[in-house]
Every structure is written in C-alpha cells, then in structure tokens.
A = this chain, B = another copy of it.
Amino acid sequence: MLLGKVKGKIISTRKHEKLVGYKLLIVEPYYGHKKDTFIAADKLGAGIGELVLVARDYAVKSGLDKDAPIDALVVGIVDREPEKK
C-alpha cells in the first residue's frame, strides 16, 4: 500500500454510474513526488491534510462492498505520521 496526504477532492458530474457515492480524493504520495499524485476513492471519511493508507489495483476489489471501476481505495487513516528518516 502507499501512504499519502489528502490534498483535496475532485467533483465529476459526468461519471461512471458505479462511482456514485464515493468521495474522490486527491492524494499526494507521502514518500514520493508530487508528480505521482493520484485519485483515491474513500468511504472512511478522510479529511484534507490527513495521512491515509491506500490500497491499489487488484486489492481494491476486496475492500469494496460492491463492484466499481476503482483502482485506488483509502483503507486506513494513519494515527501519526512516521518520520521520514
């Protein structure tokens, strides 16, 4: 999984019907670069500035209640930021 900081959210009015009901968060990798910022779906209620744990690709399927075209899902909110030693 990746650690990432929630930077904001996006709004998409014209979208795949299976995406309705998810928040779509802008997530910047905690260890990586801003250029690798991606979008993750969320149902845990992560807020802007929080550090989240994101599962990607095939693993997302197991975290969803029902099938959706989502390749990155917030699966945890991290209690305390680790040091970047």
Contact = CB atoms under 8 A, between A and B. Distances in A.
Nearest to A13: B79
A40 to B, nearest CB: 8
Chain A contact-residue range equals: 35 or more
23 contacts: A1-B38, A1-B70, A2-B38, A8-B83, A10-B53, A10-B78, A10-B79, A10-B82, A11-B78, A15-B75, A31-B35, A31-B36, A31-B37, A33-B35, A55-B69, A55-B70, A57-B57, A57-B58, A58-B58, A58-B71, A59-B60, A60-B69, A62-B67
B70 A59 contact: yes
Interface of A: 1-3, 7-8, 10-16, 18-19, 24, 26, 29, 31-41, 44, 53, 55-63, 67-73, 75-80, 82-83, 85
